[in-house]
Structure formats: structure tokens, C-alpha cells
Amino acid sequence: MLLILDEAQTGLCRTVDWYAFQRDGVVPDILTLSKTLGAGLPLAAVITSAEIEQVAYERGFLFFTTHVSDPLVAAVGCTVLDVLERESLDQQATSLGEKLRAGLLEIQLRHPIVGDVRGRGLLQGVELSPGREDTVDIDALGSAITRRCFELGLHMNIVQLPGIGGTFRLAPPLTSSTGEIELGLETLDQALAEVSTRG
């Protein structure tokens, strides 16, 4: 059996290491990347060993897509990798991630509705959780907080699905400044306060 890891969201310094699997000492047989790799352009990569690629070739496996081996986005992907390394964005994700997490933990202390803060680096999650006796509709509350954040200038949690509307996925750009992280935290704090008191 082959281990295939999809690091479309977690790869390329987002979770501090270049790849999230590095923290656990795991080496996948096949790795998929996208999102950050294309810097906004449609680019994905499937990475594997020469041995696995040879077996796939011998068995006649083919992969076709309109943009396969597109030189423009391939050049962008190479540039992204160069910039990540040259600008030490893994270290930036470490320091900004620590600031983001500390700020989210402070928010959790101020707002009882925040039940959990989790994540690594610049990929953090905030989960709303009602008290034992509380009958709050968490999805509706999450939507209201997301809407208020957007009104205040913070774009987050764009996917609102039943059952997960009360979990916020925060993934600021690796190139964010300390001031932008602080502003995002202030905005989330304000939205939580305003929406919670409206109840």
C-alpha cells in the first residue's frame, strides 16, 4: 500500500515546516501540492519516487489535462519555491504563527463561546462551543461572526457548511506583516464581542 499525502493547504511553509509531514517524521510515497505553489495561478504537482514513476509508466498510466506542463505556471511554481527559500518564509511562518496563536488564545480567554484553538504556524482553527446549558445555533453564530468580520474588513471562513459553520479556518498569507496579524486578531475579537452580545 502506498502512502499518499495531500499538502495542498499545509505544504510549503504554511505549518512552519516546508511540509506538515516533516514534523511527524513521515515520508509519503506520493505527495500532492497546489495552492501556494501556484501563487494564485492554477498549478498542482504530484511528486513521487523514480521507482514508483517507473512502475506507473510500465503499466501505461497516463495523466492528461489542458494545462499539463504549462511553461508559464511552471515558471511561477519555480519562482515560488525560490522566494520561499530566499525570504526564509518558513521562519516567518514560525514567528507570525506564534503571534497568531498567542492572540487567539487571548481571545479564547475573553470569549467563553470560543471552545478550542488549534493548528500550527499560519494555519490555525478556532472552534465555537456553546456552554452546557446553551442552545445557541453554532452554525448561525459562526455565520454572523464571519459576516461581521467581513464588514470590518477581515475575510475568513468563506465556506459555510452545516455542522462546521462554527469552526473558523485562519490561514493568513506567509508574507503577512506583524501589524496585519494584529489587525486580524483585533477584528475577530471585535466581531466576537459584538455578535455575542447581540445574542
Q: Say how far apart CA 49 and CA 56 lie, in whole Å.
A: 11
Instruction: Check residue 67 and give its pLDDT.
Output: 72
Instruction: Check residue 90 and give its pLDDT.
Output: 97
- Which tens digits make up the pLDDT trace of 98-138? 999 999 999 999 999 999 999 999 999 999 998 766 678 99
Instruction: Check residue 199 and give its pLDDT.
Output: 58
Q: Say how far apart CA 123 and CA 170 lie, in whole Å.
A: 6
The side-by-side arrangement of strands in the sheet containing 30-33 is: 4-6, 30-33, 45-48
Q: Say how far apart CA 86 and CA 39 lie, in whole Å.
A: 16
Task: For the chain, give every domain's residue range.
Answer: 4-86, 90-198
Instruction: Check residue 84 and give its pLDDT.
Output: 97
Q: Say how far apart CA 123 and CA 169 lie, in whole Å.
A: 7
Instruction: Check residue 159 and give its pLDDT.
Output: 74
Instruction: Quickly tell me which residue has 459584538 as its cell.
Output: 194
Contact 80, 37 (CB under 8 A): yes
Confidence of residue 174 (pLDDT cuts 50, 70, 90): very high
- Which tens digits make up the pLDDT trace of 27-72? 999 999 999 999 999 999 999 999 999 999 999 998 777 777 789 9
Q: CB neighbours (10 Å) of residue 165? A: 21
> Which CATH number does 90-198 carry?
3.90.1150.10
Nearest to 192 by CA among 131, 153, 147, 136: 147
Q: Which amino acid is at 191?
A: A
Nearest to 113 by CA among 88, 90, 138, 93: 138
